[in-house]
Structure 1
Amino acid sequence: MSSKEKIAIFWYRRDLRLHDNAGLYHALRSGYRVLPLFIFDRNILDALDNKYDKRVTFIHKTLAGIQESLKEKSSDILIEYGFPKAVWEKIISQYDIAEVYTNHDYEPYATERDQEIAGILKTKNIDLKSFKDQVIFEKQEILTGQNTPYTVFTPYSRAWKAKVNDFFLSSYPVEKYLDRLIKTQLPQLPSLEDIGFQETPDDFPSASVDEQLLNKYEEQRNYPAINGTSRLGIHLRFGTVSIRDLARKASKHSETWLNELIWRDFYHQILWNYPHVGKGHAFRSEYDRIKWRNNEKEFKAWCEGKTGYPLVDAGMHELNETGFMHNRVRMVTASFLTKHLLIDWRWGEAYFAEKLLDYDLAANNGGWQWAAGSGTDAAPYFRIFNPAAQTEKFDKKGDYIKKWVPELNSLDYPSPIVDHKFARERCLKAYKEALDKG
């Protein structure tokens, strides 16, 4: 690569793939040679207390795969570790950059970061061009008849399905233009130790989804003992799969699974249009008046799976040991924390953010606010899951519970932390008092 050659940079974030990548496609079509870039962002990594974080290992492993693929084409990826502002100032001094390409990220930190970097680039007359990639529809592409964002899922999903067509589901033919990558060799990917982390086991779920699983998805997805869900959450979170590929497959095999993908779009447009939800506030402000008990001892018991409610404890054990929890059980554990124990949903949201391999701010926040009753499409506050009834319905033989709570019938297993009937009445009273103040 000539030191005087003007180039375009494609900035990877949560879109870690070559295939069907919107921003990368547009960069390759720019007329400039393209240098891919990834930044291990210290603003994010420094906030992770656990330096044995499987998500960082997943990113590292994925980048190693991308680097290997690029080297086969005599190209490479520039991988930096630091604070984005300082990294970009260094890159600007090293390369003659014509344009920078990337894909949209809708989280509050990401939008602030991108505005800052766009400002730095602008001082050098460099445009930051960003594209939609991780969702099918974003921001205000789906609006009500009054030109307002939808805040209820069912009408949103109807509008989504009415608008979608082959144009929105078509893949970007990146592969046709990969010869426009810069021919270069760059330093090897820094080790996990170089960025302050330890390597974890490499036992991540597959990035492919079985068509037979999709065909049975509707009938099996609610039963945690069955391997009936796609487990693609981590791949969607970091963009190692294409949402367009998945939506086409879902349209063909399972409308129920397609609805789950539409939920992702829904929560991302909620986060964009109502950014207060991503900054610690209830979607419905009146729910911020609830007087939470926030008993730290009970929160610890919930975190450790020692509530005396087997389905709740099984879910927490699964989460703590694997970084995954079945979606039906996520609803039960979240409802239990907020309504049985009257502990602020933000405490649970933060715990899931720390533990979930597929942690995604928009979906995690949406799910927790749904459980607490404070969000869009929320379960009414008087709907309080009975863990025993949920067990009878979705784990009747106890296979899931036996797997994750082997101590169930021993003296080591705790008595229920609270009586269900008492907890229900206490919750209804607390919520009613808060909401009646309006």
Structure 2
Amino acid sequence: MHLVWFRRDLRGLDNRALNAASEASDPVVGIFIETPEQWASHHLAPKQAGLIKARLEALREELSARNIPLVVERAADFSQSAEKVADYAHRIGATAVFANKEYELNESKRDEQVCAALANKGIAWYAYDDRNLFAPGTIKSGKGEPYKVFTPFKKACLRALDGMDVSPCQKPSKRETNVAIDTIFSELKPVHFDYPTEDVSDWASDEKGILEHMRRYCREQVADYKRQRDFPAVDATSQLSPYLAIGALSPRQCLARLQEEQADWREPDTGAATWLSELIWRDFYQEVSAQNPAISKKYSFLAWGESVVWDNDPSLFEAWKAGKTGFPIVDAAMHQLNQTGWMHNRLRMIVASFLTKDLLIDWRWGEDYFMSKLIDGDFASNNGGWQWSASVGTDAQPYFRIFNPTTQGERFDSDGRFIRRWLPALKQVPGKHIHQPWRWAEQYAQTLDYPRPVVDHATQRKKALAIFEAAKNQPQEQTP
């Protein structure tokens, strides 16, 4: 008997652990462990928990067609989940447990624990690199060191792709059943989470629907990605990130489909190449997280980032979370996040810059809030994005590059179409005034159910520059 431990790899296709477990004739059982206390400490969004639950229900049906039962158990945290897997493997007589690696600190420690527990029971442990295009540590500089800057990392990845077969793994064949497998099937209970979940009916959760979403985007939309991706009112992004985050899709599947649909996928400045670059950004942040355990402990990548003296005004943080800052593009973005669990990528940069550079609030506050809301929350990508915006991460934007939220709105939502969708109070404001509606209200004696700006951008910009400059000039200690 082989046991496959599903984590953030909730797919039956292109799953290296599942395929390895299925190579021999042994019966295969899948297991997933809900860890509500661990999820709460990691700020898992109820929206993402809802998608995980829906995906598990669909995956159970997909695997059952191959005579592979999927058991869903519960443990408080990662430590208990390791014990639960080892005990279950022993109980069903499994000779080996198969899983795909996760690279964050807590996850790595959990896997060390389960490996030891299984060894004590005489059960083998096999773990596979399956999460990225390139496993952390495989793309190195000419000096044999991990990259700390994205552009050379990307170039190295593109070189490595030359001649590389990225064809997804084949679907495991249908298994022979037996009394033990039939018994496990008969004992399966409906998937139930103790952790809060939210409705995800707007998102496909079945294999067929997810794959069709990917195919349609790569076939019909990706060509326009470079030209349109920064405009939130335009449906130009793939919105595949939730599936990558929970492993319902693999990046190899995305790349293979991109290559099949777009012959110019390697040509610079094409939509396909730009979208591939985003997949490589995902690998880059996974690499940085895996190579620097301090990041999992909430430290800035740059040591001087720990010397930034944040204002951390709770009332301003609440205004930011609620979308009541008086800056329309920021507020519309936060309403999109709060209502849907998703936010356009350009807007993620705008609201993160605003929180850290205009409101002078610690990037970690924003990082945690995003994780608590995002259906596509992924630790490495979310952390990397926030550290980039706060100018304290690897290859981050310079601290003196501070987005003006008004001009960002004017540039990327010039007619206010996105703003009006999420801020109904501004529907009657003319286009030329939509980014500074308080001025229109004053000029034409109108009453708006919308706040004035909570800060003055020019004033806060000067303050931010001084604070960040002072932090850089502080003597630095080595990050733990």
Give the TM interval when normalised to the shorter protein: over 0.9
SS in 2 for 1:37: strand
State the alpha-carbon separation in 1 of the partners of residues 197 and 371 from structure 2. Answer: 19
Are 1:427 and 2:469 matched, yes or no?
no
Are 1:32 and 2:26 matched, yes or no?
yes
1:42 CA drift (Å): 3.5
Q: 1:9 aligns with which of 3, 26, 34?
A: 3
State the alpha-carbon separation in 1 of the partners of residues 474 and 69 from structure 2. Answer: 60
Q: Following superposition of structure 1 onto structure 2, how do residues 41-190 of structure 1 map, counting pairs within 5 Å?
A: 41-47=35-41, 53-82=46-75, 83-165=80-162, 167-175=164-172, 177-179=173-175, 183-184=181-182, 185-190=185-190
8 A Cα contact 2:100 2:128, kept in partner:
yes
8 A Cα contact 1:308 1:415, kept in partner:
yes
State the alpha-carbon separation in 1 of the partners of residues 143 and 422 from structure 2. Answer: 48
Ranges in structure 1 where 5+ consecutive residues have no aligned partner: 1-6
1:4 alignment partner in structure 2: none
Change (3 A) 1:48 1:290: closer
1:19 alignment partner in structure 2: 13
1:49 CA drift (Å): 7.7
Are 1:399 and 2:417 matched, yes or no?
yes
State the alpha-carbon separation in 2 of the partners of residues 233 and 369 from structure 1. Answer: 19
SS in 2 for 1:178: coil
2:237 alignment partner in structure 1: 229
Identity of aligned pairs, percent? 36
State the alpha-carbon separation in 1 of the partners of residues 176 and 353 from structure 2. Answer: 51
Change (3 A) 1:49 1:290: closer
8 A Cα contact 2:289 2:295, kept in partner:
yes
Change (3 A) 1:371 1:45: closer
Q: If the length of structure 1 is used for normalisation, what is the TM-score?
A: 0.93
The code of the aligned residue for 2:38 comes to I
8 A Cα contact 1:267 1:362, kept in partner:
yes
2:374 alignment partner in structure 1: 356
8 A Cα contact 2:354 2:403, kept in partner:
yes
8 A Cα contact 1:20 1:171, kept in partner:
yes
2:402 alignment partner in structure 1: 384
8 A Cα contact 2:47 2:373, kept in partner:
no
Q: Which moved more, 1:97-106 or 1:241-250?
A: 241-250
State the alpha-carbon separation in 1 of the partners of residues 381 and 16 from structure 2. Answer: 22
1:38 CA drift (Å): 1.2
1:167 CA drift (Å): 4.0
State the alpha-carbon separation in 2 of the partners of residues 198 and 350 from structure 1. Answer: 18
Aligned residues: 429
State the alpha-carbon separation in 2 of the partners of residues 170 and 49 from structure 1. Answer: 34
State the alpha-carbon separation in 2 of the partners of residues 222 and 13 from structure 1. Answer: 32
Ranges in structure 2 where 5+ consecutive residues have no aligned partner: 266-271, 430-446, 476-480
1:247 alignment partner in structure 2: 255
SS in 2 for 1:216: helix
1:223 CA drift (Å): 0.3
1:201 CA drift (Å): 4.5
8 A Cα contact 1:76 1:186, kept in partner:
no
Q: Following superposition of structure 1 onto structure 2, how do residues 294-305 of structure 1 map, counting pairs within 5 Å?
A: 294-305=312-323
Q: If the length of structure 2 is used for normalisation, what is the TM-score?
A: 0.85
State the alpha-carbon separation in 2 of the partners of residues 26 and 222 from structure 1. Answer: 41
1:3 alignment partner in structure 2: none
Q: Which moved more, 1:325-334 or 1:85-94?
A: 85-94
Change (3 A) 1:199 1:33: same
